[in-house]
């Protein structure tokens, strides 16, 4: 069994999805599976998956769009590995992301998630290791649980985005999954529940990026 489950729900955005999928295939860490849900796409997601010809990618198609966050929740529920990597079609991973983050979680059992510099904003920011001062410049520095909760509850320039993180899968056994009655901010609400109990550690790496979306809430 692989050690990492990459969990994604996709609906259309075929060209972005192709780039996102390539960033998974190109990972230096190879011990992963991808649990992928096509949530009622009208674009041909299946042919893109088949073009990579990688048996680690497991595609499930839903003919009817169920919407956020049903697809990714279903993918999380299928994951039986040690670690979970969330991902969306408009996001890409830095090539060494999984290798570095698995090593960090293996070495420090006191933390349940690792994250790096924010991936939001201008697409094309430098990836990989960055100067330590950028942690503070992007307000992505480490802080205590109380300070993290204030950051999230006040929406005070939240530096954590889901695809930047790697989680221990076992936290889902305790916290459950993203709330399906929230059509936006479902990952934000989940992080609040996470931070009430668990510890995340930030590092001076930009491990992921997401495309700016003008239609986002």
pLDDT tens per residue across span 128-147 = 999 999 999 999 999 999 99
Top-confidence residue, 183 or 215: 183
For residue 5, what are the β-bridge partners?
A: 33, 84
Distance between CA 116 and CA 35 in Å, rounded? 23
pLDDT tens per residue across span 46-91 = 999 999 999 999 999 999 999 989 999 999 999 999 999 999 999 9
The sheet carrying 83-87 orders its strands as: 57-62, 32-39, 4-10, 83-87, 166-168, 113-115, 200-202
- For residue 91, the SS3 value is strand
């Amino acid at each position: 069994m692989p050690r990492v489950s990459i969990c994604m729900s996709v609906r259309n955005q075929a060209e972005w999805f192709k780039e996102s999928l390539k960033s998974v295939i190109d990972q230096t860490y190879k011990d992963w599976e991808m649990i992928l849900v096509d949530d009622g796409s009208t674009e041909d997601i299946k042919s893109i998956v088949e073009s990579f010809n990688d048996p680690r990618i497991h595609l499930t198609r839903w003919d009817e769009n169920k919407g956020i966050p049903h697809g990714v929740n279903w993918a999380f529920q299928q994951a039986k590995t040690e670690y979970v990597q969330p991902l969306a079609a408009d996001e890409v991973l830095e090539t060494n992301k999984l290798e570095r983050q698995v090593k960090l979680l293996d070495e420090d059992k006191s933390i349940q998630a690792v994250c790096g510099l924010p991936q939001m904003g201008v697409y094309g920011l430098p990836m990989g290791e960055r100067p330590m001062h950028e942690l503070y410049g992007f307000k992505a520095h480490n802080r205590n649980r109380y300070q993290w909760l204030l950051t999230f509850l006040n929406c005070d320039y939240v530096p954590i985005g889901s695809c930047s993180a790697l989680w221990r899968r076992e936290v889902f056994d305790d916290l459950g999954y993203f709330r399906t009655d929230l059509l936006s901010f479902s990952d934000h609400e989940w992080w609040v529940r996470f931070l009430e109990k668990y510890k995340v550690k930030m590092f001076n790496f930009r491990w992921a990026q997401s495309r700016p979306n003008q239609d986002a809430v």
